């Protein structure tokens, strides 16, 4: 377990997250993830996320599909950087926080390259199984 430091591009929002990229990351083929090039690391404990500064610059991406999920995607309103997703979904074990990997500031390139990636088939609402095609993700 490590403590990673993250921020948005303009530096207005800063956070810490306790996790381990070596335990795996995820990309998805659903519409939201494809449009935002989403790449996340789920934290083993949601309490391992700490917002350090910039709450006044945070906005939530509105849900385009009208789904009634407790899933909230946060970004910096000043520079547009995607930062994390938080929520509670029973099928995911309840409460969760997932940080956007590119928002992490202090990750050595070698650690990013070595991080395993799971490619979820969210486009078919088949999240628990890998996507058949991943080259475009």
The answer, yes or no, to whether residue 64 has pLDDT greater than 70, is no
Averaged pLDDT for residues 57-77: 84
Answer yes or no: is 137 within a domain.
no
Q: Give the whole-number percent of the chain exceeding pLDDT 90.
A: 66
| Cβ atoms within 10 Å, residue 116 | 10
Highest mean pLDDT among 26-30, 61-65, 114-118: 114-118
Predicted local distance difference test score (pLDDT) of residue 67: 64
Predicted local distance difference test score (pLDDT) of residue 50: 98
Total structural domains in the chain? 1
φ and ψ at residue 107, rounded to 5 degrees: -100, 120
* 31/16: higher pLDDT: 16
Answer yes or no: is 62 within a domain.
yes
Cβ-contact 21, 38 below 8 angstroms: no
Answer yes or no: is 33 within a domain.
yes
Answer yes or no: is 136 within a domain.
no
Answer yes or no: is 15 within a domain.
yes
Task: Tell me which residue range forms the domain holding 83.
Answer: 2-123
The answer, yes or no, to whether residue 104 has pLDDT greater than 70, is yes
The whole-model pTM stands at: 0.89
Averaged pLDDT for residues 50-66: 88
The answer, yes or no, to whether residue 26 has pLDDT greater than 90, is yes
CA dist 45 to 20, 30, 34, 93, 94, Å? Answer: 11, 25, 26, 11, 11
State the pLDDT confidence band at 12, using cuts at 50, 70 and 90.
very high
Answer yes or no: is 102 within a domain.
yes
Predicted local distance difference test score (pLDDT) of residue 57: 98
Answer yes or no: is 131 within a domain.
no
Check which CATH number belongs to the domain holding 101 and give it: 2.170.150.70
Exposed/middle/buried for 6, CB within 10 Å: 0-12, 13-18, 19+?
buried
Answer yes or no: is 130 within a domain.
no
Predicted local distance difference test score (pLDDT) of residue 62: 80
């Amino acid at each position: 377990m490590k403590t990673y430091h993250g921020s948005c591009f303009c530096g207005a929002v800063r956070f810490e997250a306790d996790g381990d990229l070596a335990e795996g990351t995820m990309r998805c083929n659903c519409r939201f993830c494809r449009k935002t090039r989403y790449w996340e690391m789920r934290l083993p404990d949601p309490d391992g996320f700490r917002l350090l500064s910039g709450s006044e610059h945070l906005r939530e991406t509105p849900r385009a599909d009208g789904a009634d999920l407790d899933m909230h995607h946060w970004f910096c309103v000043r520079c547009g950087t995607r930062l994390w997703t938080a929520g509670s979904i029973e099928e995911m074990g309840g409460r969760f926080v997932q940080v956007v990997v590119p928002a992490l500031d202090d990750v050595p390139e070698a650690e990013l390259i070595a991080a395993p990636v799971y490619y979820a088939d969210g486009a078919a609402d088949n999240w628990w199984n890998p996507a058949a095609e991943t080259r475009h993700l």
